[in-house]
Amino acid sequence: MDEQAREELDCIAEAGGGEFRDVDSATELADTLEDVAERERRRVDVSGTNLEGAPVPQRATEVAQPGTTYTDTVLLNETNFYRFAVTPGSEIHGEVLMEGHEDPDTCGSVWLTTSFTDQGDQAEWGRNHDYNDATQAQTVITDPITAESDEVWLKVVTEHDCESDSQFDIEFQVTGAG
């Protein structure tokens, strides 16, 4: 295939929101298809009720309900708190999905850390972090905890070394059983 044909196919793929890949063998084709399938499997289109995070627990005035799916847009190197009403003594879980970044060259990779905390952010339970290569969504599930009071705050931290104003959409939910 000549260079002009490659450029045209690349332009067509880009206009359609896709990506052109040129392969020379059946092995390369199989590897490429496996890579594309893995990326699609991890793709997330966030949906749910918008709930804006707060930079400290005390400013998270809106009380969210377990079992409801929420969304927010977060920046790199930002901490957000989301307040949830829970039943004391119940076992609760938290799940955060982060939509991948469209341009991986902008920032490379991102760390997403989640935990539950109290109003003063003094104690942290169920801390879990995971790596996102910024082109795919990452699911992070905090370890289950036992609620000691009638409220907990889901703490979501995004970290990266780059100086970027990139933002990511997240989807999150807290569930519990009394």
| Single-letter amino acid code for the residue at 102 | E
- Residue with the two structure tokens 């959409």: 169
1 half-sphere exposure, CB direction, 13 A CA radius: 12
Q: What mean pLDDT do residues 145-168 have?
A: 82
pLDDT over 60 at 42, yes or no = no
Question: What are the tens digits of pLDDT across the range 6-37?
Answer: 888 878 877 776 778 888 888 988 887 777 66
**What's the CATH number for 49-177?**
2.60.120.380
Structural contact between residues 167 and 119, judged by C-beta atoms closer than 8 angstroms: no
What distance in Å separates the CA atoms of residue 5 and residue 132, rounded to the nearest whole number?
34
Here the tokens at position 57 are 């627990």
Structural contact between residues 138 and 129, judged by C-beta atoms closer than 8 angstroms: no
pLDDT over 70 at 141, yes or no = no
What distance in Å separates the CA atoms of residue 46 and residue 171, rounded to the nearest whole number?
5
Res 38: pLDDT: 60
What are the sequence ranges of the domains in the chain?
3-42, 49-177
| Single-letter amino acid code for the residue at 78 | E
The DSSP 8-state label assigned to residue 54 in this structure reads B
- Single pTM value for the model: 0.71
**Helix (H/G/I), strand (E/B), else coil: 41:** helix
Q: What mean pLDDT do residues 63-68 have?
A: 94
Res 17: pLDDT: 64
